[in-house]
Structure 1
Amino acid sequence: MRQLDNATYLTALDDDGLRDLHRYPDDLSAPWIRVNFVASIDGAVATNGTSGGLGTPADHRLFTILRELADVVLVGAGTVRAENYGGARTDPAQRDRRRARGQSDTPPIAVVTAGAHVDPSSRLLTDADVAPLILTCADAPADRRRALADAGARVLELGGSHVETAAIRSALGVLGLHRVLCEGGPSLFGQLLADDAVDELCLTTSPLLVGGASGRISSSPRAMATPMRRAHVLGDDDGTVLTRWVREPSA
């Protein structure tokens, strides 16, 4: 055991430096799933039901950059409802950089929901520059699927009664959306972990102790130990710590 080197401080990094540290692998031929979460020092994933109270300026700065780098933002329907999701936004400079990387101007939000439980009048559809993807099932009520499609969403039926991880990866791959940013929630993260589909985790530790009954950043019926290696540790003057962990390659 040895003491780690001091974290790199964000004040020493401009946004280009942060983009370089969080580049996706080159020449991807299949979806690479990056998960991004913020948690308190004592492991809480939310305060008063949402993650907003854990956010810091450093976390928001990285959040914006991770979205810019992604082809698609993957999220569970419960998180969409709890966090009142709207569509992703990009400014002219971000759109220029995305075009230079061969990406669309703005990443769509892809919502995993077996029952098509998304309100057609929610911000996800009314406050978005690009139509969301609804990853649902054939067993979802037809009227819900139809209402979402009528509201402008692209509805994809992936399986009969459950949205399997393999089906998510296949659908995103067919669409050429290889740089995936998963923003939760814990159940979706847990599903991806259980199915050995998480390639990396960006975890921000907010300088707060929260207590309460908030859950972990991942939740699943069974455990799946996934060896990871530390890619980097960044720190901000306010105590925020930002880490990036990448899955160890298979032997």
Structure 2
Amino acid sequence: MPVGELSPEGAVEEDTIPHGKRRGTLHGMRRLFPVIDETAARTPGAGGASVPGALEDREWTLAELAAAYAYPERGSAGREPWLRANMVTTLDGAAQHEGRSQPISSAADMRIFGTLRALADVVVVGAETVRREGYRPARARAEFAELRKAAGQEPAPAIAVVSASLELDFSLPLFTSPLVPTLVLTGAAAPPERIAAAEEAGARVVIAGDGAGIDPARAVRALAELGHTRLLTEGGPRLLGQMVAAGVLDELCLTVSPMLTAGDAQRIAGGPAVTVPRRFTLVSLLEEDGFLFSRYRRE
């Protein structure tokens, strides 16, 4: 079935991270930025159908979400590959509640999460996030099969786990039974016995640093050499902080959750501060049920 004929509910990712029960009723999504002529006028399309992106209370199709979050054309903006991050934060800056992102997420956030997964070649994630969130292999999604085939992609994105120590449970399905072999990004000083354990489990180990950890720029290049040019990272905060400090992040898709948590939860990015704050430009802003879905690109 073509992607445009499906309900937005089909984009919810249910295989890689376990999440809470979805709400039965959803509010409509609206485009707040950029404001286009159709948005301002709320103009109906041919046959009375809504114009994609119009400022109105309705659910978006998967085709609309995929178009709204499409990667840049190959070679555009002078950069390839393209690394985007997808994170969620509360109004008071918490990236997690009780160690997990699910409590501050929503059904709309998960539709976008699933759409971003469907557009990516590889999902890069830190080892601690894999442990906390209970990652499982990404599966092929019928609703995006034609889209991925047309883009020359595998049926599902690969998962690339970043770990210095490789202290991971290689008996988990993420390593033993993925549709696309899981990658492990590590440094040259990683314990040889753990590298062997990863490879024995079926993972592909990619050396992307001279020490124990990875060099973010080298990791991006290594993934590109494997054919993965549409990169998506879901954190955690420490990994995202490393990518920000290294200057390799091209885009940030940030969900602002209309919640307050207080406490001492992590921000979306951690680690040492950069010498000069990095400037990003807002390229789109969507809203549903009080959640804001922003998309920023570096200048």
Compute the TM-score of the two structures, normalised by the length of structure 2.
0.77
Q: Please state whether the residue corresponding to 1:79 is helix, strand or coil.
A: helix
2:282 aligned to 215, 221, 230, which one?
230
Compared CA separation, residues 10 and 30, structure 1 to 2 (3 A):
farther
Compared CA separation, residues 173 and 215, structure 1 to 2 (3 A):
same
2:238 aligned to 168, 187, 203, which one?
187
Q: Please state whether the residue corresponding to 1:60 is helix, strand or coil.
A: helix
Q: Deviations over 1:119-139 (max 9, x none)?
A: 102242245222110011221
What corresponds to 1:115 in structure 2?
A: 165
Q: Deviations over 1:92-138 (max 9, x none)?
A: 23122100111111110011112222210224224522211001122
Q: Conserved in 2, the CA contact under 8 Å of 1:85 and 1:123?
A: no
- How far apart in 2 are the matches of 1:9 and 1:231? 20
Return structure 1 stretches of 4+ with deviation > 3 angstroms. 3-10
- How far apart in 2 are the matches of 1:177 and 1:187? 22
Q: Please state whether the residue corresponding to 2:155 is helix, strand or coil.
A: coil
What corresponds to 2:225 in structure 1?
A: 174
- How far apart in 2 are the matches of 1:215 and 1:27? 34
Q: Deviations over 1:150-207 (max 9, x none)?
A: 1110011223312101210110111110100010011111111111111110001112
Report the structure number with the largest CA radius of gyration. 2
What is the identity, as a one-letter code, of the residue corresponding to 1:211? A
- How far apart in 1 are the matches of 2:267 and 2:218? 25
Matched, 1:18 2:65: yes
Q: CA RMSD in A?
A: 2.0
Q: Conserved in 1, the CA contact under 8 Å of 2:176 and 2:202?
A: no
Gap regions ≥5 residues in structure 1: none
What is the identity, as a one-letter code, of the residue corresponding to 1:228? F
Compute the TM-score of the two structures, normalised by the length of structure 1.
0.91
What corresponds to 1:103 in structure 2?
A: 153
Count matched residues: 245
1:41 CA displacement:
1.4
- How far apart in 1 are the matches of 2:232 and 2:214? 18
Q: Please state whether the residue corresponding to 1:172 is helix, strand or coil.
A: helix
> Residues 1-251 of structure 1: matches in 2 within 5 Å?
8=55, 11=58, 13-28=60-75, 30-126=80-176, 128-161=178-211, 162-223=213-274, 224-236=276-288, 238-248=289-299
Q: Please state whether the residue corresponding to 1:134 is helix, strand or coil.
A: strand
The more displaced of 72-81 and 13-22 is 13-22
Q: Please state whether the residue corresponding to 1:231 is helix, strand or coil.
A: strand
Gap regions ≥5 residues in structure 2: 1-31, 41-53
1:8 CA displacement:
4.7
Q: Please state whether the residue corresponding to 1:11 is helix, strand or coil.
A: coil
Compared CA separation, residues 159 and 10, structure 1 to 2 (3 A):
farther
Q: Deviations over 1:139-158 (max 9, x none)?
A: 11111111111111001122
- How far apart in 1 are the matches of 2:278 and 2:293? 20
